[in-house]
Amino acid sequence: MRLLTAILLASLGAAQPARAALPISAVAEPARPFALGDVVLLDSPFKAAMERNADYLLSIEPDRLLHNTRLYAGLTPKGELYGGWESGGIAGHTLGHYLTAISQQYAATGDARFKKRIDYIISEMAACQQAYGDGYIGALPPTELATLRAFREGKVEVLTPFVFKSGAWVPWYSEHKVLNGLKDAWILGGSDQARLVTLRMADWVDSVTAGLTPAQLQEMLRVEQGGMMDVLVEIYSLTGNPRYLATARRFYHNAVLDPLLEGRDELVGKHANTQIPKVIGAARTYEVTGDPRGRAIAENFWDLVVHHYSYAIGGDSDDEHFYPEDSMSSHLDTNTAETCNTYNMLKLTQHLFCWDPGTDTADFYERALYNHILASQDPRKGMFTYFMSLKPGMFRTYSTPFDTFWCCVGTGMENHTKYGGAIYYHGVDDLYVNLFIPSVLTWGEQGFGLEQDTDYPRGDQTRLTVTRAPANELALKVRCPGWAAGPVTFDLNGRSFPNAGTPGTYGVIRRVWKAGDVLTVTIPMAVRTEALPGAPAKVAFIYGPVVLAGDLGPPPQGATIPYAQNQYANAGEAAPPVPVLVLGDGPAESSVVRSRDGSLIFRTSGMGRPTDVTLRPFWEISFNRYSVYWDIVTENQWRGLGSQEPSGF
């Protein structure tokens, strides 16, 4: 969660303050997110996901996550080491994600159980930092830590994009999670001790990188480093200490960011999730320093990924890499759409929205939130997907509670704690309603309160009730999604507004609001098709914000289905043939019929071969086989395929 800027540049005026106002902000953003505590979720799939995730967070034992931190600091561990990635070279990344997740959960709910954990973990980390002696804190195994410390002697030797010659596996990546978690424990978790630990660790990062030449730094950056630039810029923003900005700039990776600045697409073949945090760092640098290059990099990258490398669910990548747009149809695989990527793309999208509030960014946020992030959580135990398979006929594989700890478990822990952070945004006297998720907003600065009640997207209306209002005028700006099937209409206290909202704009209602005012917004929805980039005959069906997927029945039985320690455990499972759809006289979407009971269940009507298909929201098909994309063929083409065995669903 990005921090709110304390003041706008415009309000600095001519008089120079003796010290910079903190957090530092150099650009006036027309929209800013609310603090997590300003928004309370009401009943919805998002609230249920948040509660399920909270239970999982509470089932984690801090002493076990701290095992390596104590061990390598020379102290006796107090808990047994967790399995999976926590017992490998990337150990410790979970501790950082966990600190962020419990800090966000605490900020959102005020639940003291999370505060207690924050304070305990930070006190343990402070003791370990003391024991390490040079300011370092983390859980890196000896090889990884020695590799970072050797930077002081100018020793930077890279083997692959993930490994140094020493054998160290992405040590900066892991340390970014730790530093970010500490910073969140400080800012969101209200831990003063975390501030001290954070700054000592940031000093340590400075100390090991300060002597590296520009060429050595660029060599170092060939290995994945997570969001090191982003978190250090943030620490600069929070402290005003320019040394942290200088340290952040050492993580500016020219080979990736320069082409983006120049508008060149060199993403094909690159590891996707390695790059997104670098771009977020550039975005944050723009906000804090005013350097327009960071904004250009972010906007160019976002446009490329969203419009040329993303699937209908808002996710991207196959086997974690970007592939050319015209080859995406051959990349509907088991290992598509790493969940971390979408976690990071949503972070980036929030930055872009705040600079230039518009429905293109807000629509993408909604799409990826419903169809990837919400879908990534197992509704039984709150476990997490790594890849979101888009191979027709495949199914999801989730983590195990204590023996997995993939990257996507770490980002997943965070995902479900911050749904409240993107529903509303505000300017000085305007309020953006971006997502139609049941919630209560308290806008303290304006003395304004709002309750949103809706069964969207099952229903097409949302009801915004003003619970508290100031005497001055405020503008409510309601997103009219670009996908809306017609003008978005507004009804205030039972009276229709003459002007409807054009899809792809914001409907603006500026007035002096009164407690008890009720604004009802109707957003027309219809089924539409969306082709896979570069493959016009492969389409997904979407209803409003909801990607519909064919429910293709139960998966096979197996020890690793649906929970696996290894993210590739089920990658070799065969997928049965999936029906194809034969185009009739009208467009394909005209043959998709909604269930009469008002649920979000649809069925193809007469165009499925060999059988019609039941379609449900993708996020709900948590355990069955499914398909998102369908081949649209002619009757003759289907006959040519006629040797296919009916697949039995």
Select from 212-220, 403-411, 460-468, 489-497 the region that touches Zn ion (CB under 5 A): 403-411
Shortest approach of Zn ion to residue 317 CB, angstroms? 10
Choosing from 49, 368, 407, 621, the residue that interacts with Zn ion (CB under 5 A) is 407
Three-class SS state of 314: coil
Task: Give the whole-angstrom CA distance, residue 569 versus residue 243.
Answer: 45
Shortest approach of Zn ion to residue 131 CB, angstroms? 31
Shortest approach of Zn ion to residue 310 CB, angstroms? 16
Shortest approach of Zn ion to residue 147 CB, angstroms? 22
- By beta-carbon proximity to Zn ion, the closer residue of 273 and 349 is 273
- By beta-carbon proximity to Zn ion, the closer residue of 148 and 272 is 272
Shortest approach of Zn ion to residue 65 CB, angstroms? 18
Q: Which of 108, 4, 48 is nearest to 437 (CA)?
A: 48
- By beta-carbon proximity to Zn ion, the closer residue of 109 and 310 is 310
Structure-token pair, residue 363: 């629509």
- By beta-carbon proximity to Zn ion, the closer residue of 202 and 383 is 383
Task: Give the whole-angstrom CA distance, residue 466 versus residue 570.
Answer: 50
At which residue do the structure tokens 């990635």 appear?
Answer: 85
Distances (CA, A) of 22 to 197, 288, 447: 19, 10, 24
Please count the residues of this chain forming the interface with Zn ion, following the rule CB under 5 A.
4
Can you list the positions of beta strands (E) in 138-221?
Answer: 158-160, 163-164
Shortest approach of Zn ion to residue 273 CB, angstroms? 6
Select from 80-88, 335-343, 444-452, 592-600 the region that touches Zn ion (CB under 5 A): 335-343
- By beta-carbon proximity to Zn ion, the closer residue of 29 and 338 is 338
Select from 42-50, 333-341, 428-436, 575-583 the region that touches Zn ion (CB under 5 A): 333-341
Select from 9-17, 338-346, 522-530, 575-583 the region that touches Zn ion (CB under 5 A): 338-346
Examine residue 57 and tell whether it contacts Zn ion (CB under 5 A): no
Examine residue 388 and tell whether it contacts Zn ion (CB under 5 A): no
Task: Give the whole-angstrom CA distance, residue 390 versus residue 393.
Answer: 8
Choosing from 267, 348, 408, 561, the residue that interacts with Zn ion (CB under 5 A) is 408
At which residue do the structure tokens 């089932």 appear?
Answer: 59
Shortest approach of Zn ion to residue 162 CB, angstroms? 13
At which residue do the structure tokens 């804090």 appear?
Answer: 288
Select from 230-238, 340-348, 438-446, 632-640 the region that touches Zn ion (CB under 5 A): 340-348
Distances (CA, A) of 317 to 304, 325, 340, 362, 384: 13, 11, 11, 21, 18
Examine residue 340 and tell whether it contacts Zn ion (CB under 5 A): yes
Task: Give the whole-angstrom CA distance, residue 278 versus residue 270.
Answer: 13
Which DSSP letter does residue 482 get? T
Shortest approach of Zn ion to residue 609 CB, angstroms? 37
Shortest approach of Zn ion to residue 627 CB, angstroms? 23
Select from 185-193, 331-339, 483-491, 553-561 the region that touches Zn ion (CB under 5 A): 331-339
Shortest approach of Zn ion to residue 410 CB, angstroms? 8
Select from 146-154, 156-164, 390-398, 406-414 the region that touches Zn ion (CB under 5 A): 406-414
Minimal CB distance residue for Zn ion: 340
Q: What is the DSSP string of 551-609?
A: E--PPPP-TTSSB-SSTTTTTT-------EEE--SS-GGGGEEE-TTSSS-EEE-S-EE
> Could you tell me if 350 and 32 are in contact, meaning their C-beta atoms sit under 8 angstroms apart?
no
β-bridge pairing 580-582 and 489-492: unpaired
> Could you tell me if 147 and 208 are in contact, meaning their C-beta atoms sit under 8 angstroms apart?
no
Three-class SS state of 246: helix
**Four-CA torsion 370, 372, 374, 376, nearest 10 degrees:** 170
- By beta-carbon proximity to Zn ion, the closer residue of 122 and 383 is 383
Chain residues binding Zn ion by CB under 5 A are 338, 340, 407-408
